[in-house]
């Protein structure tokens, strides 16, 4: 199988590229990435000489570039996205350009090339906040931030192409990912690297916003499962049932360093900060996937990775 992976130099995309190449000896991957601030070639330095891997620097909004890469490609997996909520609040334009216009370009190129399958990597944030229970795939979208609104817009565009053009399209929506190679603006690597630098950790509002935490390799396993067993026209939630409020998560990270609450610096809450995200992933689990990574062990492994890869994140925090 030949895959075009967009955004494959980013956090989740790079883990997916590595996983596929390690799992399937006869698969080939083209990685198209614009190398914006969160796209990092060092994320895949260990496999850059793999004969089954080709890297192309380019923008998913460039139809000519995308179309030129699709010869012989069976599946497009779109990981490319602007993802940080705080950045989207300060400057929404880039999020609309990449997350909506970029997806439109990919869909048009895929349609003209008659791609066998298109997998759009989305997020739980498109559903908005839920105080009780969990979202299922058929629930209405109610995004709160420019980021989540741009991802919801892309999802709706994908649904329209699936219905109008009968494009074989699948959407995945996962809960909050964490793990090695995550850009240090996200909460877990930000807190871990702040502590390693001797700085306090900035906690929004009262710290009681709830998130479900999914180790990145479990998400990658789920996407691989969906690639091979998912049904065109479907949406699949991906979650691990590791719900913690941000104060509990912060306390856990501090505990791993032997530190206490005096390291917390409460800061003004983010605008339109969703109170709780929660996904029901039973649809995917009934097909045979389930998370296998222990949450606390994965947190420890993630902390250890940042401890031993200081040069990777130091220059990113300075940029």
Distance CA(18)–CA(216), nearest Å, equals: 12
Mean pLDDT on 269-293: 97
Q: pLDDT for 117-158, tens place per residue? A: 999 999 999 999 999 999 999 999 999 999 999 999 999 999
The per-residue pLDDT for 319 is: 67
Mean pLDDT of 52-63: 98
Class of the 2-177+214-238 domain?
A: alpha beta
Regarding pTM above 0.85, the answer is yes
Q: Yes or no: is domain 183-210+242-277+294-318 CATH 3.10.20.600?
A: no
Boundaries of CATH 3.40.50.720 in the chain?
2-177+214-238
User: β-pairing, 2-6 with 28-33?
Assistant: parallel
pLDDT tens-digit series, residues 287-297: 999 999 999 99
Q: Which of the residues are catalytic?
A: 124-125, 147
Alpha-carbon gap, residue 169 to 190, rounded angstroms: 34
Confidence of residue 37 (pLDDT cuts 50, 70, 90): confident
Alpha carbon distance 65, 44 (integer Å): 22
Judge whether residue 242 has pLDDT over 70.
yes
Helix (H) / strand (E) element for 103: namely: helix 102-113
Q: Give me the chain's average pLDDT, please.
A: 97
* Ranges of CATH 3.90.25.10 domains, the chain: 183-210+242-277+294-318
Model pLDDT, residue 266: 97
């Amino acid at each position: 199988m030949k895959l075009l992976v967009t955004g494959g130099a980013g956090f989740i995309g790079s883990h997916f590229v590595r996983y596929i190449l390690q799992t399937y000896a006869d698969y080939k991957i083209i990685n198209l990435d614009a190398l914006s601030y969160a796209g990092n070639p060092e994320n895949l330095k260990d496999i850059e000489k793999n004969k089954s891997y080709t890297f192309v620097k380019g923008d998913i909004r460039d139809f000519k570039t995308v179309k030129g890469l699709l010869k012989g490609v069976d599946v497009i997996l779109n990981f490319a996205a602007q993802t940080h909520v705080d950045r989207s609040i300060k400057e929404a334009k880039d999020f609309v350009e990449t997350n909506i216009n970029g997806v439109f370009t990919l869909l048009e190129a895929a349609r003209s090339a008659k791609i066998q399958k298109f997998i759009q990597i989305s997020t739980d944030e498109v559903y908005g906040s839920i105080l009780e229970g969990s979202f299922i795939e058929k629930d209405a979208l109610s995004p709160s931030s420019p980021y989540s609104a741009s991802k919801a817009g892309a999802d709706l565009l994908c649904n329209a192409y699936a219905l109008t053009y009968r494009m074989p399209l699948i959407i995945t929506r996962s809960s909050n990912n964490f793990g090695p190679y995550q850009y240090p603006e996200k909460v877990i690597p930000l807190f871990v690297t702040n502590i390693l630098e001797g700085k306090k950790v900035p906690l929004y509002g009262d710290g009681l916003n709830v998130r479900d935490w999914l180790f990145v390799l479990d998400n990658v396993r789920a996407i691989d499962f969906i690639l091979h067993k998912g049904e065109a026209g479907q949406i699949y939630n991906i979650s691990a049932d590791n719900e913690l409020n941000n104060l509990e998560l912060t306390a856990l990270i501090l505990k791993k360093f032997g530190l206490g609450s005096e390291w917390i610096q409460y800061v003004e809450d983010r605008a339109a900060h969703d109170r709780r995200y929660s996904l029901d992933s039973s649809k995917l689990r009934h097909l045979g996937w389930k998370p296998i990574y222990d949450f606390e062990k994965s947190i420890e492994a993630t902390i250890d990775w940042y401890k031993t890869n200081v040069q990777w994140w130091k220059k990113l925090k300075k940029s």
